[in-house]
Amino acid sequence: MFERLHMPPLAGAAEWLNSEPLGPAELRGHVVLVNFWTLTCINWLRQEPYVREWSTAYRDDGLVVIGVHTPEFSFEHDIAEVRRAIEERKIDYPVAVDNDYAIWSAFDNHYWPALYFTDADGIVRDHHFGEGHYEQSERLIHRLLGIDRDLVTVEGRGVEAGADWNHLRTPETYLGYGRSDRFSSPDGVSFDKRRAYELPDSLRVNHWALKGDWTIGAESAVPDQAGASIACRFHARDAHLVLSAGARERIPFRVLLDGNAPGPSHGV
């Protein structure tokens, strides 16, 4: 909990989307919700329908939602990708593109997603890190706005669907050598150079491996031949993988679940 801490400045953004730059003069008298996010973060994707609905439901009551996109990976510095994410998620509230971590540092933030709740006097009254706690967050918005109203109804669909925490056993996994672990291809990782990889005879739960020619960099693993594959043994209702075609318009790929094509109840 914050005690009489004024909201830090929203200065230093590379660009503002959906709005002109906002500062104390524009926000004076408004309750402000600042949401730090990055476009490939699954936790943010599952949180976003709530933030989006709050922005719509309470805008006329004086709530201003401000998204701050602070990139986790190098490719997330691309403002065109941020703009595309905003369009896909139908985000209409202001978003500051914080490519240099200026706003992130001003808030001394360390998490994606992160919510900071500021009252009409510009005092940060509370914060929440990570997804969840939606009812508590919305009731705090009510208190700061001085309203008494039913909570909004939110149903995330597709990639925005809420997590199945009862069955989620597999943690976030990074393929780049900078943060990877539980890699199970024989002979380990070769840094920044093309190499043929093989799958092991079996995979332990939460472990992954590559097959075919790949180049593993600090932040990513890049296939160097058609038919290269990645295998992961996971325990969860959902599995999400960040893919990029790079400079190419599109690259076809195939997903197999336990060696077979996913059925109609699998995937979005």
For 38, 84, 160, 210, the CA distances from 20, given in Å and listed in that order, are: 20, 18, 28, 45
| Residue 36 neighbours by CB distance under 10 Å | 25
Distance CA 247, CA 172 (A): 26
Residue 53, pLDDT above cutoff 80: yes
Tokens 């730059």 -> residue: 21
Range(s) of the domain holding residue 262: 164-268
Which of 108, 139, 160 is the last residue before a domain boundary?
Answer: 160
- 152 & 197 share domain: no
- 134 & 206 share domain: no
- 193 & 246 share domain: yes
- 120 & 237 share domain: no
- Do you find a cis peptide bond into 113, omega within 30 degrees of 0? yes
**Domain CATH for 74:** 3.40.30.10
- 103 & 213 share domain: no
Helix pair angle (42-58, 79-89), 10° resolution: 60
Residue 1, pLDDT above cutoff 70: no
267 band by pLDDT with thresholds 50, 70 and 90? low
77 band by pLDDT with thresholds 50, 70 and 90? very high
- Residue 240: the pLDDT is 92
Round the average pLDDT of the chain to a whole number and report it: 95
- 75 & 192 share domain: no
Residue 4, pLDDT above cutoff 70: no
- Residue 143: the pLDDT is 98
Which of 160, 187, 222 is the last residue before a domain boundary?
Answer: 160
- Residue 248: the pLDDT is 67
Which of 160, 179, 194 is the last residue before a domain boundary?
Answer: 160
- 118 & 51 share domain: yes
Phi, psi of 102 (to 5 degrees): -65, -50
- Residue 2: the pLDDT is 47
- 154 & 223 share domain: no
Beta pairing partners, 156: none
- 130 & 171 share domain: no
Residue 250, pLDDT above cutoff 60: yes
Q: What is the mean pLDDT of residues 190-214?
A: 98
Distance CA 203, CA 209 (A): 8
In the chain, the number of structural domains is: 2
Distance CA 50, CA 113 (A): 12
Q: Residues near 50 by Cβ (< 8 Å), separated by ≥ 6?
A: 134, 137, 138, 152, 154
% residues pLDDT > 70 (the chain): 97
In eight-state DSSP terms, residue 21 is -
Helix pair angle (134-145, 42-58), 10° resolution: 30
- Residue 5: the pLDDT is 87
Give the predicted TM-score (pTM) of the model.
0.92
Contact 173, 232 (CB under 8 A): yes
**Domain CATH for 219:** 2.60.120
- 131 & 69 share domain: yes
- 247 & 127 share domain: no
DSSP 116-144: EEE-TTSEEEEEEESS--HHHHHHHHHHH
Burial class of residue 96 in the structure, from the number of CB atoms within 10 Å of its CB (0-12 exposed, 13-18 middle, 19+ buried): buried
- 27 & 74 share domain: yes
- Residue 249: the pLDDT is 74
- pLDDT tens figures, 108-166: 999 999 999 999 999 999 999 999 999 999 999 999 999 999 999 999 999 999 999 99
